[in-house]
């Protein structure tokens, strides 16, 4: 082998050796750059995850009773954060529940992050669909009959429901539920709901009112009672009847 060929041989050998040394190092860098949540979903694709429902009306559609600024912040900041956080917890904690019902049936076993953000995710989806922009109408059919039989009248029901909402100390929710066919008014703290296995009163949710301050403070400040009074103008009674 002459000197020129020898130099080329040595040069090519060094180049191939360097390439072989560099290529394996690229694999771990790609793994480290992957989205941890996506990795978790790939590891357990059957695990239930929460999804933020599309708001069924414009942010301004509920004015003057709920202002557009409150609706936008409530939906895009608060609710979106609950969705993000609970899905992070599902991946990080390797939770493997088949549905929202299954998730809440095990609420007492969940971490604080999973429980609170799971409740916030579900409760808000439920709340958005409890409202409508086109006027309140009134309960009819079996729903009206149940309200009249249980509470005496729609006005009495509203009075008792408002008491539950005003009486909830701090943050939480007021609910109308069906407990094995019996209508009941209850309230829950924080982001709890009546589907949770450790709820003091469990039942099928029919109607919900969010009484966290972020739901009303821009417009009503500390006047929760005024917010509740205005909220009755937005109740989607048809949706409540379907849930029954």
Q: What would the 3-class secondary structure string for 12-37 be? A: HHHHHHHHHHHHHHHHHHHHHHCCHH
- 127 or 33, which is more confident? 127
Q: Is the pLDDT of residue 215 over 80?
A: yes
**pLDDT score at 18:** 36
Residue 234 maps to which CATH number? 3.55.40.20
Nearest to 119 by CA among 78, 160, 91: 78
Domain membership of residue 44 (yes or no) is no
CA distance 40 to 42: 5
Under the banding of pLDDT at 50, 70 and 90, the label for residue 22 is very low
Considering the domain boundaries, does residue 45 fall inside one? no
pLDDT value at position 43?
A: 53
pLDDT per position as a tens digit, 74-129: 999 999 999 999 999 999 999 999 999 999 999 999 999 999 999 999 999 999 99
pLDDT of amino acid 4: 47
Q: Evaluate whether residue 38 is within a structural domain.
A: no
26 pLDDT more than 90: no
List CB contacts of 31: < 8 A, sequence separation 6 or more.
none
Arithmetic mean of pLDDT, 168-177: 96
CB count within 10 Å of CB 90 equals 26
110 or 12, which is more confident:
110
Which residues are paired to 209 by β-bridges?
174
Asked if the structure places residue 87 within a domain, the reply is yes
Residues spanned by the domain of 227: 67-244
Does residue 42 lie in a domain region?
no
Query: How many domains, the chain?
Result: 1
Residue 172 domain-assigned (yes or no): yes
**161 falls within a domain:** yes
Is this structure's pTM higher than 0.85?
A: no
């Amino acid at each position: 082998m002459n000197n020129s060929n020898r130099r080329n041989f040595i040069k090519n050998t060094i180049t191939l050796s360097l390439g072989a040394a560099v290529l394996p190092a690229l694999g771990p860098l790609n793994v480290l750059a992957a989205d941890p949540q996506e990795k978790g979903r790939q590891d357990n694709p059957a695990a239930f995850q929460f999804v933020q429902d599309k708001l069924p009306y414009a942010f301004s559609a509920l004015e003057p009773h709920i202002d557009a600024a409150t609706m936008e912040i409530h939906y895009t900041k608060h609710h979106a954060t609950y969705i993000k956080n609970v899905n992070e917890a599902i991946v990080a904690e390797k939770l493997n529940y088949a549905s929202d019902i299954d998730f809440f049936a095990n609420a007492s076993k969940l971490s604080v992050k999973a429980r609170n953000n799971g409740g916030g995710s579900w409760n808000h989806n439920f709340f958005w669909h409890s409202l409508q922009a086109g006027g309140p109408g009134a309960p009819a059919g079996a729903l009206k009959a149940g309200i009249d039989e249980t509470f005496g009248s729609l006005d009495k029901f509203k009075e008792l429901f408002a008491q539950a909402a005003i009486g909830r100390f701090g943050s939480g929710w007021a609910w109308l539920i069906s407990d094995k066919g019996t209508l009941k008014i209850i309230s829950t703290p924080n982001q709890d709901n009546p589907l949770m296995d450790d709820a003091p009163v469990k039942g099928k949710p029919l109607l919900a009112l969010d009484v966290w301050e972020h739901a009303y403070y821009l417009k009503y400040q500390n006047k929760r009672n005024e917010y509740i009074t205005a909220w009755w103008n937005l109740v989607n009674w048809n949706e409540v009847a379907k849930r029954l």
